[in-house]
A and B are shown apart, each in its own frame.
Chain A
Amino acid sequence: MKIEILNAHICDPLNAIDRVAALYIADTKILSIGEPPADWQADQSLDASGLYCIPGLVDIATRLGNSGQAQEQSIRSETQAAVSAGITSLVCMPDSNPVMDSAAQLEYIQQHCQSSSPCHVYLIAALTTGLKGDMLSEMAALKQAGCVGVSNVMHPLASNLVLRRAMEYAAGQGLTVHYQAMDAALQANGCINEGLAATRMGLIGIPNAAETAAVAVCLALIEHTGARVHFGRLSTQHAVRMLELAHSEGAQVSADVAAHHLFLCDDDIPAFDPNFHLLPPLRSASDLIGLRQSISKPVFSAICSDHQPHGADAKLAPFASTLAGASTLETLLSLVLRLVDEDLLSLQQAIALVTYKPAQMLNIDAGSLTAGAVADLCLFDREQEWVLQADTMQSRGKHSPFLEQRFKGKVKYTFVSGQLVYSESS
């Protein structure tokens, strides 16, 4: 199948392309941009006048579903939601039910994804058995089965000694540790940032030090073990500064932030609204400003959704008793574009953080429009406005801190491996 996409504004940060041009696809690969290949005869021609064409988005922290949802169905719904939002490569965290801690479990999910998912799905495996934090997972077997990294997600490790050994072992297997910095003892059952909002609502706060202390310990162990660590979902300004410093001194570290942490702080939480129960928590206004100012720094390799689809019951309780997390795939692109509108990033920088930069960090073949690359594309209307509404969300989870808010930038077509997997009208 030969496809040509005409008149789109192509933005490909890896190759520094930022102009209106034609793009040519043959079967699963991109052939060229600009001039048609010799003897070109398209089977399908798409006039994309007025649209941007970027590499399909790579979202490095998502979940396909939580317990209680039939796995196959939730794989289908969440990956469909992803492509409707221009995301063509999803990375799933291992805190699913059952936990992704064995090669068999990984293979099982991969098989289901092959038959049900319109996009590429990559898996991060558990760092410890059952994410329980005391015994190492079989990392060699997990790597063999295709995991792109290992993580204990938000589950605590029994001790710093376990962290040290897990990092050493992962380094020996050439696996990146995806670390979510949260000192469990300092977290102390907290469910919200320790600040005025917590004080006002009488909720247990999580101090910034729960994140910075964990970052400090992990940085010390990186120096000791030589492990490659990616720090996921940072929420505090101080932790970001620590990582910027380590990165500038040559440490093998990278970081990401969830898109909602670049727009919301704890002052924005309406009284006890569980849509805002997120972990790490929304931090103070000064942390929000700090994160926004740092997002252009080289230590950041990604902005992610931290998508966590929950059923309705998960949030039907008083705030602290609800499950943390929200469905955030569908707002990722618009939020990233908003960073451009707010002059925090150039369009190229912003797109880079959801395409080639996370792809390079994960070492996967995605995120660029280079000739010969897999033809994963997102075509969107930069100006079209839309409103996030629970009943029109594609995800099975209907919780979001952005419900009823207006967004700009609407995905029109999504291609995965040269196939049109989403078009807005269908």
Chain B
Amino acid sequence: MQHFLTTESLTSDQLTAILDTAESFINADGSSVKKVPLLRGKTIVNLFFEASTRTRSTFELAAKRLSADILTMNIAASATVKGESLLDTLRNLEAMHVDMFVVRHQDSGAAEFLSKHISPGISIINAGDGRHAHPTQAMLDMFTIRRHKGDFSQLKVTIVGDLLHSRVARSQIHALRTLGAKEIRVVAPRTLLPRELEALGVDVYADVESALAGSDVIITLRLQKERMQGALLPSEHEYFQLFGLTSERVALAAEDAIVMHPGPINRGVEISSAVADGKQSVILQQVSYGIAVRMAVMSMLAGNNL
């Protein structure tokens, strides 16, 4: 595989290979290894057309720990504002003899588009495209789940929140399905549920309590403040009342359920501080596992092992 664009078409073996490789980059204490020479001499460009802190910096760290040279470009503030097309931006950077691009863009399909027009031999990693996919985030989530739960086949996973706008949720759903999760439940206000989501293999629930009952993994999604403007929701307050993850609601899930969030969190909107900082929360582990998983994806693409 030359590019890593989505979890949708990948096989269970491919996903498991990523998780296994990531495991090899983890120390006994759960941190990722400090330095390996796998990508020495390679040049990687972080191409971010949209703001990001966690994803961008964990990609940077992952590249550095693989001994690659990495350059981060925040394009939102430069070329495209001057009217340069996405393709021209790519062509210019290609001329600098880059081996791999990590791309985040606000348009769904942007990474796929670039992968179709890039010179052979250069890899594209999708670091989030519009509402479509965020495959490395989904893989670090799978990694976190596997570390805590081991086998996927008995798991009930509940995803709560803005599924309409969420590339993370789409990538998670594909990965969970392929890895054989027993049940994938989703729950959201009707205005934030995309059409025919059931066809992706999930069960849509109307209320958060029944969606959480007996669940082993709870994933809550970030709610963007802009959603109030588009008449999608009446208020943050009402959202928290209906869908916010509180200790009482977490108690409906399995006793050893883990609570996940792709970040950044809005305390008191989609999740209470008590839950975010509580003992079932693995939100910070997700961030640190992100480095190992991204090291895995980068090294596997570079070594043609994916």
Contacts and interface: CB of A to CB of B under 8 A. Distances in A.
Interface string A115-148: 0000000000000000000000000000000000
Contacts of A205: 194-195
Contact of A316 (B85, B109, B132): B85
Interface string A173-208: 000000000000000000000111011111111000
A198 B194 contact: yes
A300 interface: no
B110 to A, nearest CB: 4
A271 interface: yes
A201 B87 CA distance: 20
B195 A198 contact: yes
Nearest to B197: A199
Given A199-B200, A202-B131, A202-B170, A318 B195 contact: no
B199 A319 contact: no
B222 interface: no
Contacts of B194: 198-199, 205
B112 interface: yes
A202 B196 contact: no
Contact of B108 (A194, A195, A202, A316): A202
A321 B105 CA distance: 12
B17 interface: no
Contacts of B275: none
A304 B88 CA distance: 36
A194 B112 contact: no
A202 B53 CA distance: 22
Given A202-B167, A316-B85, A271 B195 contact: no
A271 B112 contact: yes
Contacts of A196: 195-196, 199-200
A203 B112 contact: no
Contact of A317 (B113, B131, B199): B113
Contacts of B85: 313, 316-317
Interface centre among B105, B108, B132 (most CB of A within 10 A): B108
A318 B200 contact: no
A272 B131 contact: no
A221 interface: no
A272 B112 contact: yes
B109 A319 contact: yes
B87 A317 contact: yes
A202 to B, nearest CB: 3
Interface string B240-252: 0000000000000
Nearest to B6: A271
Contacts of A200: 8, 170, 200
A200 B105 CA distance: 17
Interface in A395-417: none
A196 B173 CA distance: 14
B200 A321 contact: no
A198 B195 CA distance: 8
A320 interface: yes
B130 A202 contact: yes
Given A272-B113, A318-B86, A318-B108, A201 B132 contact: yes
What's the interface size class on A, roughly? 20 to 34
B198 to A, nearest CB: 9
Interface string B198-222: 0110000000000000000000000
Nearest to B88: A316
B133 interface: yes
Contacts of B277: none
Contacts of B129: 202, 318
B130 A195 contact: no
Interface string B6-22: 00100000000000000
Contacts of A316: 85, 87, 117
A202 B197 contact: no
Contacts of B197: 199
B107 interface: yes
Nearest to B110: A318
A272 B117 CA distance: 13
B196 A318 contact: no
A202 B87 CA distance: 21
Contacts of A318: 86, 105, 107-110, 112-113, 129-130
B133 A202 contact: yes
Nearest to B169: A202
A373 to B, nearest CB: 49
Contacts of B131: 202-204
Given A202-B170, A316-B85, A316-B87, A272 B195 contact: no
B10 to A, nearest CB: 14
A271 B116 CA distance: 12
B112 to A, nearest CB: 5
A203 B164 CA distance: 10
Interface string A308-320: 0000010011111
A343 B165 CA distance: 43
A348 to B, nearest CB: 39
B196 A321 contact: no
Given A317-B85, A317-B86, A201 B108 contact: yes
Contacts of A203: 108-109, 130-132
A320 B112 CA distance: 13
A393 B43 CA distance: 41
A114 B115 CA distance: 45
A319 B114 CA distance: 12
Contact of A320 (B86, B107, B133): B107
Interface string B82-123: 000111000000000000000001011110110001000000
Contacts of A313: 85
23 contacts: A194-B195, A196-B196, A199-B196, A199-B199, A200-B200, A201-B108, A201-B109, A202-B129, A203-B108, A271-B109, A271-B112, A272-B112, A313-B85, A316-B85, A316-B117, A317-B85, A317-B86, A318-B105, A318-B107, A318-B113, A318-B130, A319-B108, A320-B130
Given A202-B130, A318-B108, 11 more contacts: A195-B195, A200-B8, A202-B129, A202-B133, A204-B131, A316-B87, A317-B86, A319-B107, A319-B113, A320-B109, A320-B130
Instruction: Give the 5 A-B CB pairs with smallest separation, nearest first.
Output: A202-B131, A202-B132, A272-B109, A318-B107, A199-B194
